[in-house]
């Protein structure tokens, strides 16, 4: 899975959990909150540093892709 695909998957997963009710549109995605949660999740994984160095670079690229969404 590419970093971009992983970033999109994480944001999509968190978007399901951070939806907001809008009186005109009903339930809507809160992409800002979903991106924030995805970044927090990746940062928490990076804190443990149990990943091989190549995986750390992968996660750093995932973070970059999340911010681009």
Domain containing 20: what range?
3-68
pLDDT band for 30, please (50, 70, 90 cuts).
very high
57/69: higher pLDDT = 69
pLDDT band for 67, please (50, 70, 90 cuts).
very high
Q: Is 65 helix (H, G, I), strand (E, B) or coil?
A: helix
pLDDT band for 63, please (50, 70, 90 cuts).
very high
Number of domains in the chain: 1
Percentages helix, strand, coil for the chain (3-state, rounded to 5) are: 70, 10, 20
For all residues of the chain together, what is the average pLDDT?
90
Confidence at residue 45, expressed as pLDDT on a 0 to 100 scale: 86
């Amino acid at each position: 899975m590419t970093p971009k695909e992983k970033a999109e998957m994480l944001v999509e997963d968190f978007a399901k959990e951070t939806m907001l009710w809008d009186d005109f549109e009903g339930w809507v995605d809160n992409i800002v909150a979903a991106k924030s949660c995805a970044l927090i999740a990746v940062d928490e994984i990076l804190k443990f540093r149990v990943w091989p160095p190549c995986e750390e670079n992968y996660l750093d690229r995932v973070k970059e892709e999340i911010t681009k969404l």
